[in-house]
Amino acid sequence: MSIERLHSGPRMSQAVIHGGIVYLAGQVGAPGEDATAQTRAILASIDELLAEAGTDRSHLLTAMIWLADMADFAAMNVVWEEWIGGTNAPTRATGEVRLATPDYRVEIIVTAARP
């Protein structure tokens, strides 16, 4: 089976496709914006990468959401639930972690099937 990589750099690829599964790298929003704005930007980026990989959010399998502060959980969830639309929700884990820089509030990693 072949492995396809999208937007590869010396450190990582933004997406890797193998065996009909699309694995996205962690997506972040603009540094310094609040959790709501970062989540909106992240989900837009995820939509773009999934489309480029030949799939979409209705084929999500799993999501991992990292928050710099669990105080942002409710704000992130408002945006997430609007984006998911109440159907085809993936499995999901959310946790508080120290992100690459204090300017990042949210990072989201998803895996999706490619139809």
CATH topology of domain 3-113: 60s Ribosomal Protein L30; Chain: A; (3.30.1330)
Q: Are 6 and 43 in contact (CB under 8 A)?
A: no
This prediction has a pTM of: 0.96
pLDDT at 87: 85
Q: Give mean pLDDT in consecutive 10-residue pieces for the chain, a chain of 115 residues.
A: 95 97 98 97 98 98 98 98 93 97 97 96
Give which of 83, 106, 103 is closest to 94, Cα–Cα. Answer: 106
- Using CA atoms in the order 47, 94, 112, 21, what is the torsion angle rounded to 10 degrees? 130
Rg (CA), the chain: 14
Residue 87 structure tokens: 């159907």
Q: Are 107 and 28 in contact (CB under 8 A)?
A: yes
